[in-house]
Chains A and B, each alone.
Chain A
Amino acid sequence: GENVEQHPSTLSVQEGDSAVIKCTYSDSASNYFPWYKQELGKRPQLIIDIRSNVGEKKDQRIAVTLNKTAKHFSLHITETQPEDSAVYFCAASKQAGTALIFGKGTTLSVSS
């Protein structure tokens, strides 16, 4: 089955710096890759997603890149702010509406 590896497990940056989180997946049939942000005690919230027919997607300070050949995708957050501090999960799935396989999460800390 699908396996998603996520690195790093923790990431500390200064406010205004960029943060990059990387994930790799094992199943070449996976074609949907969302990123979720989860604050302590709250639900996972989708922040950006990408499908396999696109190499890059950007939404304000957040961008995701996908390399299908290498089977990895990355989350980029620019101009980080303290409110970006949370746990970020990458995920992969093979088909619309099917199960998401999550990475183990990255705890991002942004200090001011």
Chain B
Amino acid sequence: DAMVIQNPRYQVTQFGKPVTLSCSQTLNHNVMYWYQQKSSQAPKLLFHYYDKDFNNEADTPDNFQSRRPNTSFCFLDIRSPGLGDAAMYLCATSSRDRGGTDTQYFGPGTRLTVL
């Protein structure tokens, strides 16, 4: 069942201290997404990679960056976390243009706490 893996599952950081969240997948999907989900809200897309092409959502703060060194891995970097960045961060993958379905498969999420 571990097709989309996120590490760590829980992350505590201090205000302003950079943090990196990790996502890996064994599905060989060419699209990887990062969502932010705050309590009692819907997931909100931050950005996604289509292969190596990075697509940033217009309202994603500059504080959030991402890297995708290869097909399997994608990282979310928060350069200077603020209290408002405390949330669940969900990684998802899907297959585009490869005959796969549109289905996005979500990882278990990383819950970020900012002190």
**Which residues of chain A have a CB within 8 Å of any CB of chain B?**
32, 34, 36, 42-46, 49, 51, 89, 93, 95-105
Which of the candidate stretches B13-21, B62-70, B76-84, B95-103 sits at the interface with the other chain? B95-103
Indicate if the CB atoms of A99 and B95 lie closer than 8 Å.
Answer: no
Name 15 extra pairs, CB < 8 A, besides A44-B106, A96-B94, A104-B41. A32-B102, A34-B104, A43-B109, A44-B90, A46-B105, A95-B96, A96-B97, A97-B31, A99-B33, A99-B55, A100-B45, A101-B45, A102-B43, A104-B42, A105-B41
Indicate if the CB atoms of A93 and B102 lie closer than 8 Å.
Answer: yes
Most chain A CB within a 10 A radius of its CB, from B42, B97, B105:
B42
> Chain A residues with Cβ under 8 A from B44's Cβ?
102
Indicate if the CB atoms of B42 and A89 lie closer than 8 Å.
Answer: yes
- Cβ contacts A to B, 8 pairs, < 8 Å: A44-B90, A46-B103, A46-B104, A49-B103, A51-B102, A95-B96, A98-B96, A100-B43
Indicate if the CB atoms of B102 and A34 lie closer than 8 Å.
Answer: yes
Indicate if the CB atoms of B42 and A97 lie closer than 8 Å.
Answer: no
Within 8 A of A (CB), among B5-64: 30-31, 33, 40-45, 48, 50, 55, 57
With A96-B96, A97-B97 as contacts: A43 and B107 at CB distance below 8 Å: yes
> Chain A residues with Cβ under 8 A from B55's Cβ?
99
B21–chain A nearest beta-carbon distance, Å? 14
How far apart are the CA atoms of A99 and B55 in the complex, in Å? 10
How far apart are the CA atoms of A100 and B104 in the complex, in Å? 9
> Chain B residues with Cβ under 8 A from A100's Cβ?
43, 45, 104
Indicate if the CB atoms of A42 and B102 lie closer than 8 Å.
Answer: no
